[in-house]
Structure 1
Amino acid sequence: MAEPVLSVRNLHVRFRTGDGILHAVKGIDLDINPGETVAIVGESGSGKSQTMMSVMGLLASNGWAEGSVKYRGEELVGLSPGRLNNYRGSKLTMIFQEPMTSLDPLYRIGDQLALPLTTHGGLSKAEARKRAIELLELVRIPDPARRIDAYPHEMSGGQRQRVMIAMALANNPDVLIADEPTTALDVTVQARILELLADLQKRLGMSIVFITHDLGVVRRFADRTYVMKRGEVVESGDTDTIFAAPKHPYTQMLIDAEPTGRKEPVASTAPVVLDARNMAVQFTLEKSFFGKATHVLRAVDDVSLRVRAGETVGVVGESGSGKSTLGRAILRLLPASGLVRFEDRNLMPLDRGGMRPLRRHLQLVFQDPFGSLSPRMTAGEIVTEGLLVHEPSISRKDRDRRAAQAFEEVQLDPAWRNRFPHEFSGGQRQRIAIARAMILHPKLVVLDEPTSALDRSVQKEIVELLRGLQKAHGLAYVFISHDLAVVRALSDEIMVMKSGKVVERGTAEEIFDRPEEDYTRDLIAAAFLTERGNAEAATQPLAS
């Protein structure tokens, strides 16, 4: 057998925290062979991401690694940043889980793509720009010659993740570490990106390490799998063998975990919380010399929806379909035209001051938890930040008590509220974001991909949590997601969006059992392809 391109032995990763030393990775061994795909799976907090962050020498300042990490026989642990840079970005590259925090908001996409090409590839600026456009086309960014000059905030979450993939592939690396590489992608693009990575791997001979909670992806693409729990590898081996005959109860639990059940229907007499009609949002992409708009994008085009107390309206569609923009528009976070009525009040004439008293009733859970959590605040301070605005008279002790209660509601240890965001896993950060919204007891919550960063077992818990909160408080949800299994488990009504328009709507049963539009059928087909992960699925063609 060929010598491993990457070999890890007795790796320990620890962090200094306000609660003492956190032992995140506990003496694990793993090997990555040339040209193979290896998956590292486990729940949030299992240590899978920190394992690969230590390989790249990218641990937070309060963390350190002990043990051995060898790339083609060269020891990486203990190398200076300068020597590590000889490998990072060229031989070893990484696609990060949260693209918005990995891309610099002050620089255009093209400049950021050009950096590894000029630094490690030796290309000129002109050559790097040409190659950057080719990379954007490779990862299916529409109109790459135009989008290369966009800033990160001008792209959807899925498009930003595709930019990160393009950046990682820029210099044809030996080992590509993909930390939840398809988390922000809709199901059709996810399937195409995974096939793209598989094709590039075959062509370039690179090894791929998938860090993921999506076992459908693992079963379809990984040659070997390591299962991690609480910093330890509890099972490893050939992927087909692990799925066919898992030996550890934890592995079996991961395989079986998926959101189940259906939401109880809401009464037809329930009061209407939100009534949005003929919503439209447009962005000016280009202006003439005289300031006249020459290229306008209609991100939301004549969309209406109504949500009753206790009801969930699911909004699905591919990246760039306008679903997240719609969510922000109905909360008056973006300029829009149309009518937005919250209970008995028209929100459209209200300015920022007029909206402020209503904000506690209208909450948003963002897609990117790390980007929405201040790194300078503890988790407890983040969760109670809204109380300082909307309930300024309560004491610090009462705020802390309510923070502890909120942590319990989202299945986090209340003792962790003194930790900072970087000390949590991606899934744990998303639960903090949910707690921050729920602590104000809102009436309407727009949930923008709230489970996209969570492993399947935690998704199941969060779905049950959201159902319970909704039933107890009569909450109205607008649930935006590309995860159709979660949408089906939570929604009363589903709207399917494409290019800013609603192409189909109906009950969850109607959409999934009797879809009328080809676009809807493609979404469902791609979702089942990646979710069920069986041998039959691996042979099915992608949705067009």
Structure 2
Amino acid sequence: MSTPLLEIDNLQVDFRLPTGTVSAVRGVSFSIHEGETMALVGESGSGKSVTSTALMRLLPEMTHISGSARLGEQELLKISPRQMRRVRGDEMSMIFQEPMTSLNPLHRIGRQIAEVLERHRGMTGQKAQQRVLELLRQVGIPEPERRVRSYPHELSGGQRQRVMIAIALACEPKLLIADEPTTALDVTVQAQILALLKDLQQRYGMAILFITHDLTLVRHFAERVCVMRHGEIVESGDTATVFERPQHDYTRMLLDAEPSGTKAAVDTQAPMLLEASDIRVRFPIRKRLFGRSEYFEAVRGITLNIRRGQTVGIVGESGSGKSTLGRALLRLLESQGSITFDNTDITHLDKSAMRPLRSRMQVVFQDPFGSLSPRQTVGEIISEGLRVHYPELGRREREARIIEALQEVSLDPAMRRRYPHEFSGGQRQRIAIARALVLKPRFLLLDEPTSALDRSVQMTVIRLLREIQRRHDLTYLFISHDLAVVRALSDTVLVMKEGQVVEHGTSETIFTRPRETYTKTLLKAAFMSSEHAA
């Protein structure tokens, strides 16, 4: 067996806080060989990202790191900061999870790639510019001569991630650390990014440390896998063996956490709760003083009927119009067409006329941390809707409703005096659901409510949504790009592309007998067929 490129031995990472020492990584050991892909998997808080940032020496000063991390002949934990700066980007590089926060919003992408070449290769001027264009072509950025002058906000999520890969590979490193590089991306873009990384790995012969909580990706992308929990590696081995014959209970739990089951079909005689006809939403993109303004049509003539107790799933890539359609149906966006909710024509109702109906139609957003006020306690957040819609309720009645809502989502009512930052991601999403349920709605718009959660947490939220729907005869409009979750929750599915519905049918039909090429492409990418994993 050849000498490993990277060898980690008994890595320990402790955070020294005013309240005491927290051990984030405990005695971790593993190795990676040249050209190999090894996956580090586990739930949020397991220590995966702390391990990678420790290797890159990017942790804060109050951190104590011990053990050994050798890259070739270099002991990464003992070389000087100046030597480490040379190693970073030159011999090892990292792709971070969220490119929008990693890229400088004030600099054009060409300048950000060129900065790496200047620092590590001494390239300037025309030579650097040529290399930047070459890198952009390699990572599949269209029209690189034009895009080189773009700012990060002018690119799509997939394009920004490709720019991050270009920066990471600028100096052809021996080791690439990819920390959740596809988490926020659509399934088709996700498959493209993984295929790109495989292609570049073969071209450069580099090793990849792939960090993720998505075991579906690991199954098709990595040769070996290490499973982390509470800062320790609980199981490791070649990917096929670990997936087929897992030894540890935690590994089995992760593998069993894939969304499963199907929703029982709704009675075809159930009354219609929402009827929408020829819905169109457009946004101005250029206004002119004289002549016609230019518009972008985000939703193009969609007709949709939802029966009471039904769950309609809407799937499609980013920019397909999913969320825009959902907001239009709830009259949160101006639209054309007609909308009837609970036997009331709401097409032309103004804000004051819509307010009495708002308690019956609620929204659970994608990011609970962003949608919950950090300055309010959980109790204050949940009670806000009660104060608006039921001002006649006394303090004790409001408190009773808050306690009931928290119990509905299996949270301890004593938690109502705490703030959102004191909760995990799954708990915050339960709080967001409780905020909607406290008003006893009939209709819930669920806009990517599980996309930011680990698979095991997703399963608990899915079970919770199923139980709440059964208990209260709720109707859901479920928007997501995660097709496994949509399949588990929905009895009817709409597939959207470029503002239009390209396919519509029962969940069973869409997932087992899709007609449209676009739907087939989404399904192949979502469930990682061998074609996309190659």
Instruction: Name the aligned partner's letter for residue 229 of structure 1.
Output: R
Segment of structure 1 superposing worse, 128-137 or 226-235: 128-137
Where does 1:182-331 land on structure 2 (aligned, <5 Å)? 182-284=182-284, 297-331=296-330
Instruction: Name the aligned partner's letter for residue 473 of structure 1.
Output: H
Q: CA deviation at 1:259?
A: 1.6
List alignment gaps of at least 5 residues for structure 1.
531-536
Residue aligned with 1:263, SS: coil
Question: Would the aligned equivalents of 1:406 and 1:438 in 2 still touch at CA under 8 Å?
Answer: no
1:4 counterpart = 2:5: yes
The corresponding residue for 2:53 is 53
Q: CA deviation at 1:27?
A: 3.0
CA-based RMSD: 4.3
- Partner Cα distance (1:52, 1:252) in 2: 24
- Partner Cα distance (2:75, 2:416) in 1: 35
Q: Call closer, same or farther: CA 1:343–1:242 in 2, change over 3 Å.
A: same
Q: Call closer, same or farther: CA 1:234–1:400 in 2, change over 3 Å.
A: farther
The corresponding residue for 1:518 is 517
Q: CA deviation at 1:439?
A: 5.2
Q: Call closer, same or farther: CA 1:4–1:447 in 2, change over 3 Å.
A: same
1:387 counterpart = 2:383: yes
Q: CA deviation at 1:165?
A: 4.2
1:541 counterpart = 2:526: no
Q: Call closer, same or farther: CA 1:275–1:87 in 2, change over 3 Å.
A: farther
1:343-364, Cα deviation, whole Å (9 max, x unpaired):
3455554556665665554444
Question: Would the aligned equivalents of 1:98 and 1:368 in 2 still touch at CA under 8 Å?
Answer: no
The corresponding residue for 1:534 is none
Q: CA deviation at 1:408?
A: 8.0
Question: Would the aligned equivalents of 2:408 and 2:468 in 1 still touch at CA under 8 Å?
Answer: no
1:500 counterpart = 2:490: no
Question: Would the aligned equivalents of 1:6 and 1:31 in 2 still touch at CA under 8 Å?
Answer: yes
Aligned length: 528
Q: CA deviation at 1:4?
A: 3.4
1:421-443, Cα deviation, whole Å (9 max, x unpaired):
4x776666655655555555544
Question: Would the aligned equivalents of 1:44 and 1:427 in 2 still touch at CA under 8 Å?
Answer: no
- Partner Cα distance (2:48, 2:481) in 1: 24
Where does 1:65-464 land on structure 2 (aligned, <5 Å)? 65-68=64-67, 70=69, 72=71, 74=74, 76=76, 85-102=85-102, 116=116, 138-140=138-140, 158=158, 160-284=160-284, 297-347=296-346, 349=348, 359=358, 361-368=360-367, 372=371, 377=374, 381=377, 384-385=380-381, 387-388=383-384, 390-391=386-387, 402=402, 406=406, 409=409, 418=418, 421=421, 434=433, 437-438=436-437, 441-464=440-463
Residue aligned with 2:532, SS: coil
Q: CA deviation at 1:202?
A: 1.5
Q: CA deviation at 1:218?
A: 1.1
Instruction: Name the aligned partner's letter for residue 383 of structure 2.
Output: L
- Partner Cα distance (1:107, 1:440) in 2: 46
Segment of structure 1 superposing worse, 274-283 or 80-89: 80-89
Q: Call closer, same or farther: CA 1:27–1:370 in 2, change over 3 Å.
A: farther
Q: Call closer, same or farther: CA 1:222–1:432 in 2, change over 3 Å.
A: farther
Question: Would the aligned equivalents of 1:317 and 1:497 in 2 still touch at CA under 8 Å?
Answer: yes
- Partner Cα distance (1:27, 1:400) in 2: 48
Q: Call closer, same or farther: CA 1:212–1:108 in 2, change over 3 Å.
A: same
Q: Call closer, same or farther: CA 1:188–1:66 in 2, change over 3 Å.
A: same
- Partner Cα distance (1:287, 1:124) in 2: 40
1:15-46, Cα deviation, whole Å (9 max, x unpaired):
7498x765433332233333321111123332
Q: CA deviation at 1:475?
A: 2.5
TM-score (norm 2): 0.81
Instruction: Name the aligned partner's letter for residue 465 of structure 1.
Output: L
- Partner Cα distance (1:354, 1:131) in 2: 59
Segment of structure 1 superposing worse, 448-457 or 67-76: 67-76
Identity %: 52
Question: Would the aligned equivalents of 2:277 and 2:337 in 1 still touch at CA under 8 Å?
Answer: yes
- Partner Cα distance (1:339, 1:317) in 2: 23
1:287-325, Cα deviation, whole Å (9 max, x unpaired):
78979656x543322222222332211111233322233
The corresponding residue for 1:533 is none
- Partner Cα distance (1:84, 1:119) in 2: 13
Residue aligned with 1:51, SS: helix
Q: Call closer, same or farther: CA 1:164–1:420 in 2, change over 3 Å.
A: farther
Residue aligned with 1:310, SS: coil
Q: Call closer, same or farther: CA 1:277–1:89 in 2, change over 3 Å.
A: farther
Question: Would the aligned equivalents of 2:13 and 2:54 in 1 still touch at CA under 8 Å?
Answer: no
Q: CA deviation at 1:266?
A: 2.2
Q: CA deviation at 1:493?
A: 0.9
Question: Would the aligned equivalents of 2:113 and 2:167 in 1 still touch at CA under 8 Å?
Answer: yes
- Partner Cα distance (1:411, 1:486) in 2: 23
1:489 counterpart = 2:488: yes
